[in-house]
Amino acid sequence: MDETLLALNTAFAKSITEVTVEKVTNKITQIKSNHDLKKQVTDYEQLINDLLDNKNKLELTARNYKERLEQVTISDSDIESLHNTVSTVIRLVMPLSQSESKTDEKSIDVLLNLLNSDTLKTLQLLGYNYKKAIGEPLTQITSDFLKNKLNTKKQGL
């Protein structure tokens, strides 16, 4: 488990244990036992502020969990776009390849058939992280390629 997720889990556990019915009930009983009305008002305000602060912490933690989930979740529209884009790119690049065998065409059809919602969602449910497995290496390859080309041009000047 990565450190960010561990920190989220810790923050969540701390938030849910800070405020329990028993703790709030005990605090209210304690406030009621004080006969100074001004002190009671102050203590109630403090209790309410503490509860609101805890609520805000829980909402922040929930948003962070949601952001983490969105980082690894692919929507149906993303899958459709991915399928269309990959299909178009493969069809454009295919004539440029040296080999134009029927086997290559069948392989491409198999690959495109794998890029459907059911397959991708199932892999995702099994824990496959597309952005990490595919996106990060592609980003690195692109970055290395551009750096290499830019360095070659600088050296050629």
Sign of CA dihedral 94, 99, 100, 101: negative
pLDDT tens digits, one per residue of 8-20: 899 889 888 888 8
Higher pLDDT, 145 or 61: 61
With beta carbons less than 8 A apart as the criterion, state whether 116 and 79 touch.
Answer: yes
- What distance, in Å, lies between the first and last C-alpha atoms of the chain? 48
pLDDT tens digits, one per residue of 58-115: 999 999 989 887 777 777 888 888 878 878 887 777 776 666 566 667 777 777 777 7
User: What tokens appear for 99 in the block?
Assistant: 């080999």
With beta carbons less than 8 A apart as the criterion, state whether 50 and 23 touch.
Answer: no
Residue whose pair of structure tokens reads 């805000």 in the numeric block: 56
Split at pLDDT 50, 70, 90, the class of 142 is: confident
Residue 156 has pLDDT above 70, yes or no: no
User: Considering the entire predicted model, what is its pTM?
Assistant: 0.56
DSSP state of 134: I
* Cα separation, 102 vs 30, whole angstroms: 81
Sign of CA dihedral 121, 123, 125, 129: negative
